[in-house]
Amino acid sequence: MHEVLSPYRDVRDALLLIDGIALVLAGIVGAVLGRSATRPIGELVRAAERIQEGRYDTAVVATGAAEFRSLAATFNTMQKNIAEREADITFQARHDTLTGLPIGPSWKAPGRDHRQPEQVALVLIDLRKVSEINASWSPCGVTMC
């Protein structure tokens, strides 16, 4: 029986060796392809964490497929828009909306040592009929255009 099955054992051993090599190669190819897909995702995750922390200075660069590059461009646009909105909100919080002048403790005289306390005066002028004065500066007069 041993002699009869001997050629089949050789074929079986050869097939097992071929299967083993194929499995190892498939694992290597899978690892390389998996890494090429997860690397751009990792870059996007790190970019989202930076944006969450309020750091908008670093552009998102993703390599890989067109979808990853498109998503990176969307991240960059989102990051820019958030930074602009935050700057606008900060400006509005620290400046008078009508005059654009700084308000509160953020006002500093130019050329002064900012470690020294500031002296600030507030002048209040009480104007009557301000709406009529504003309307007189309008090209349409008192009525709306």
Chunked into runs of 10 residues, the chain (145 residues) has average pLDDT values of: 84 94 95 82 87 87 82 90 92 84 64 64 78 72 53
121 located within any domain: no
Give the pLDDT score at 80. 92
- Residue with the two structure tokens 């308000």: 103
112 located within any domain: no
Give the pLDDT score at 18. 95
The residue count for the chain: 145
137 located within any domain: no
Structural domains counted in the chain: 1
CA dist 69 and 76 (Å) reads 11
Domain extent, residue 47, equals: 2-99
Nearest to 120 by CA among 133, 135, 107: 107
Regarding pTM above 0.85, the answer is no
Give the pLDDT score at 6. 83
Terminal alpha carbon distance of the chain: 109
On the CB side of 120, how many CA atoms lie within 13 Å of its CA? 12
